[in-house]
Amino acid sequence: MRYQLVATMAAGLESVTTKELKALGIQTRTENGKVYFEGDDKTIALTNVWLRSADRIKIVVGQFKALTFDALFEGVKALPWDHYLPLDAAFPVEGRAVRSQLHSEPDVQAITKKAIVEKMSAVYHRTTRLPETGATYPLEVSILKDIATLTLDTTGSSLFKRGYRIAKGEAPLKENFAAALIMLTNWHPDMPFVDPTTGSGTIAIEAALIGHNIAPGLQRQFTFENFGFLTSQSYKPSKMKRWIKLTLIVN
């Protein structure tokens, strides 16, 4: 199955994430501070495990214009939620609204949840409340300039949480931001690396990961690992090294 995917990152780092995706052989487009691309089950795993500068990888479930709450409800309900969510799925919904007629985020969130529940109840022939006792499928509804975008988060905890840090110093630099800083310089792994301002060593650690071509996400877990609709079992992080030998882009 092919998915429309989106990578989120800190403002100004779109070009860095785009270069990383291109190094993975993925075509991209940048829009509203996010990088969009397409892929399959393997792409979801690959980007979560290998991207150094991104925050999250999300599946775009659907997008439509929503000028009223009725339009939002019907638009959400029309999406193929049963392709992603099993009967027992727990699906918390976060809502955002920016420069849109629908500006009440709590209402946007509540109406989106209600529409999904109604769709799921109809598909699974439920007359009682959905159990929501199974795996978690984190959803987001984001309305920007009256365009609603529904996404499913495949990452879980932000990608800056690599899994190697057991303690941190005062005001630590996020790992994905540190990696992006390195990739914005002209440093290359065959050159010495010196960080005269090091505190907890985040920049140096990220440089070591880049220099040794170690995927930043190999030591952590992801939400997508519990998604029932992902049919391939070859996407487990422990198998990512077999898939790709990256050509590093650090300048």
User: What distance in Å separates the CA atoms of residue 192 and residue 90, rounded to the nearest whole number?
Assistant: 48
The sheet that has 29-31: what strands, in order across it?
Answer: 29-31, 34-39, 3-8, 56-65, 147-153, 139-144, 93-98
Evaluate whether residue 181 is within a structural domain.
Answer: no
Residue range(s) defining the domain that contains residue 72: 3-158+219-242
Evaluate whether residue 247 is within a structural domain.
Answer: no
Three-state SS for 46? helix
Q: Are 17 and 11 in contact (CB under 8 A)?
A: no
The CATH number covering residue 26 comes to 3.30.2130.30
Evaluate whether residue 167 is within a structural domain.
Answer: no
Of 227, 249, 228, 225, the residue nearest 239 (C-alpha): 225
Cα dihedral 131→236→232→92 (10° resolution): 30
Three-state SS for 68? coil
pLDDT score at 249: 41
What are the respective helix, strand and coil percentages of the chain, to the nearest 5? 30, 20, 50
Q: How far is CA 67 from the centre of its chain?
A: 27
If one counts the domains in the chain, the total is: 1
pLDDT tens, residue by residue, 113-137: 999 999 999 999 999 999 999 999 9
pLDDT tens, residue by residue, 168-188: 777 779 999 999 999 999 999
Q: Residue count of the chain, please give it.
A: 251
pLDDT tens, residue by residue, 57-115: 999 999 999 999 999 999 999 999 999 999 999 999 999 999 999 999 999 999 999 99
Supply the mean pLDDT for the chain.
91
Evaluate whether residue 132 is within a structural domain.
Answer: yes
Evaluate whether residue 205 is within a structural domain.
Answer: no
Q: What is the CA radius of gyration of the chain?
A: 20
DSSP string, 129-166: -----S-B--EEEEEETTEEEEEEESS-S-TT--S--S
- Looking at per-residue confidence, does 172 or 3 come out higher? 3
Of 170, 248, 239, the residue nearest 210 (C-alpha): 248
pLDDT score at 242: 53
pTM value > 0.95: no
Evaluate whether residue 248 is within a structural domain.
Answer: no
Grade residue 248 by pLDDT with cuts at 50, 70 and 90.
very low
Evaluate whether residue 250 is within a structural domain.
Answer: no
User: What distance in Å separates the CA atoms of residue 237 and residue 87, rounded to the nearest whole number?
Assistant: 27
pLDDT score at 232: 59
User: What distance in Å separates the CA atoms of residue 42 and residue 67, rounded to the nearest whole number?
Assistant: 36
Evaluate whether residue 173 is within a structural domain.
Answer: no
